[in-house]
A = this chain, B = another copy of it.
């Protein structure tokens, strides 16, 4: 068993990269900028972070970030660095893991770039969080979808609908055969659409619909807020027969998500809004594999990964790398594998490529305009997405499948 915590970084430095890596290790463990009496060899042996690996990747002429240390005339060296820490420094503790692997080091003087690429945790660290209690299998069970993706959508307009408007739209979507619906991240408990009123109105419609059809769409109610409010809101959703709750990860923080997850009896749909601030600068911040591991262990059942051909700035390769990273087990006996959520500008066009590159249909596949904007209405929108996935999973070209599947045919005309 690996008794140490490991983290991989991409660094860029005007300094000697080996020396820069030692500065990182020092800052994030027992280092001091003046040698102190208490800094004994025994203490260093016990608590110091170690540089486990340093691989120079090349140099660039200009610094990626403003850097307080001047160039020595050698340009800025990029390197892959792995640091390790004794498990005993923090124990199985997610909030303090964050301070250890992603704390002050981003600001260190020798760096013109520093990005956390991945994290590996010793087996004993599995005790730090509940992990997803539902994950893929539990979500499929509650949504009544045995195979293929859950076809989903987001309540739009994002904000401004009343509880009754929202319920009416949820009814339309349920009537269209949707598997999954989520609140927008902008809609939690605003005075114009109170959480409790919205849940009551929506669940009345979805429960009625389920009684007639036997199928209850999974609705992720956005309960983002303070701890006591989130727990109370969760209980309301559960008591009214709801099957999912949603939280904005960067808003509630690790401690907030842990407080919800330890209480929750429903899948937690984890929204990553704000992620761009942590990730869009290529030589700063976090990569998704590293970042998502913390939230997976903290209890996220569904995690957003954007979508191919999205309306945002993320390249397709990054989207797929994120989704595939979620399939990588965190611990052999506690894999913490959440369901990836594809969304943003999705329609019946992207499923073949998504399936080919993901290698799996274990996902929530959410479209907004791709469903509501279908020229034959939302039911045809939902059907077009199912058709597109069915074709992809059967290895049939979408254009061939469309000949006998009119909803798909119209969608391909509309969105391609």
Binds B, one of A131-139, A247-255, A399-407: A247-255
Give A166-215 interface residues, CB cut-off 8 Å to B. Answer: 169, 185-186, 188-192
A38 near B252 (CB under 8 angstroms)?
Answer: no
B251 near A90 (CB under 8 angstroms)?
Answer: no
Instruction: Chain B residues near A372: list those with CB within 8 A.
Output: 34, 36-37
In the complex, A280 has a CB within 8 A of chain B: yes
In the complex, A395 has a CB within 8 A of chain B: no
B248 near A98 (CB under 8 angstroms)?
Answer: yes
Instruction: Chain B residues near A86: list those with CB within 8 A.
Output: 192
Give A244-281 interface residues, CB cut-off 8 Å to B. Answer: 248, 250-259, 262, 271, 273-278, 280-281
Q: How far is it, in angstroms, between the C-alpha of A39 and the C-alpha of B157 when the chains are bound?
A: 6
In the complex, A104 has a CB within 8 A of chain B: yes
Query: How many copies of this chain sit in the oligomeric assembly?
Result: 2
- Contact for A104 among B31, B188, B191, B276, CB less than 8 A: B276
Instruction: Chain B residues near A80: list those with CB within 8 A.
Output: none
- Contact for A96 among B44, B156, B225, B368, CB less than 8 A: B225
- Contact for A30 among B47, B93, B159, CB less than 8 A: B159
A251 near B253 (CB under 8 angstroms)?
Answer: yes
Q: How far is it, in angstroms, between the C-alpha of A226 and the C-alpha of B298 when the chains are bound?
A: 11
How big is the A interface, by class?
35 or more
Q: How far is it, in angstroms, between the C-alpha of A193 and the C-alpha of B114 when the chains are bound?
A: 29
Q: Which residue of B lies closest to A47 (CB)?
A: B160
Q: How far is it, in angstroms, between the C-alpha of A133 and the C-alpha of B159 when the chains are bound?
A: 33
Interface residue ranges, A against B (CB under 8 Å): 28-34, 36-39, 43-44, 46-48, 65-69, 86-91, 93, 95-96, 98-100, 102-109, 111, 114, 156-161, 165, 169, 185-186, 188-192, 224-228, 230, 248, 250-259, 262, 271, 273-278, 280-282, 284-286, 306, 311-315, 345, 368-369, 372-373
17 residue pairs from A and B, CB less than 8 Å apart: A30-B160, A34-B368, A39-B156, A46-B192, A67-B313, A86-B192, A90-B189, A95-B252, A96-B224, A98-B251, A99-B274, A108-B313, A111-B313, A253-B255, A255-B259, A278-B278, A281-B284
17 further A-B pairs in the complex, CB-CB below 8 A; given A34-B373, A104-B276, A108-B313: A28-B186, A36-B369, A38-B157, A38-B161, A65-B313, A96-B251, A99-B185, A99-B250, A99-B251, A102-B250, A107-B313, A251-B254, A252-B256, A253-B255, A277-B284, A277-B285, A280-B284
